Amino acid sequence: MALRSELADIKKLDSSATTYFNKMKVLADTLTSIGRPLSDEEFAGFVIKGLDADYDNLAEVVHNAKPAMPPHELYSRLLFTEQRVEA
């Protein structure tokens, strides 16, 4: 499906964590609206895939989270990590 491919291709690069997360969330919400929702684990996987090595610690925490980290918590941790990386 094209929306999943688009999710897989988005990279954070120089955008803010908020801008990056919002792009991902809009696509995920679109999938939900057409009856193809992502699980929290799938969504987190797409978000982590688009981050660079500065976010490796976050990636490890997310991958080890059981049950899967919900989007609102992932967003909070992404913002916290961004502040730490940019400090």
- Give the pLDDT confidence of 68-84 residue by residue, as tens digits: 999 999 999 999 999 99
How many alpha carbons lie under 13 Å from residue 15 in its C-beta half-sphere? 14
Secondary structure string (H, E, C) spanning 8-68: HHCCCCCCCHHHHHHHHHHHHHHHHHCCCCCCHHHHHHHHHHCCCHHHHHHHHHHHHCCCC
Mean pLDDT score of the chain: 95
pTM of structure: 0.93
**Domain positions in the chain:** 2-86
* pLDDT for the residue numbered 87: 84
**Eight-class DSSP state of 36:** -
Q: What angle do CA 45, 9, 36 make, to 5 degrees?
A: 60
